[in-house]
Amino acid sequence: MSKLVLALTSAAAVVLVGGCNNDCYNLATQICQCQPTAQAIATCNSNIAQANSVAQPTNADLARCTAALNTCDCRTLATGTPEAKVACGLARPNPKDLVISR
C-alpha cells in the first residue's frame, strides 16, 4: 500500500501542484498525509514544495482539484482502485465507463 501511495503522491506533486495555497496544492498535501510514516510524509511534502515552484495548473486542473478535495481521503486512496484514483484527482474517468442518460 505504501509504495502505491508514494507513487501516486509523486505523480500528484508533479501534475497537480502549482502556486501556493491553491486547491491543487492543498490536495497534494492532503494526499501526503496518507503516507505511512512521518518521514514519508516529510519526503512527500518536500516533493510538493519542489514541484510547486514550476507547475502551473490550468483553471480546469484547479476545478478538478477542488472537486477532489471533497472526495479524496486516505481510506479511499488506500483501496488503490481506479475509482479511488479518480476521486483523488490522480486519474481521469474512462469515458467508456460513463453512462449516458437519455
pLDDT tens digit sequence for 9-35: 445 544 444 445 799 999 999 999 999
Q: Kindly report, residue by residue over 38-70, the tens digit of the pLDDT.
A: 999 999 999 998 988 887 889 999 999 999 999
Distance between CA atoms of residues 37 and 21, nearest Å: 24
d(C-alpha 47, C-alpha 7), whole Å: 12
The pLDDT of residue 4 is above 80: no
Query: Hey, is 80 helix, strand or coil?
Result: coil
- List C-alpha distances in Å: 81 to 46, 69, 102: 26, 17, 28
- pTM over 0.85? The answer is no
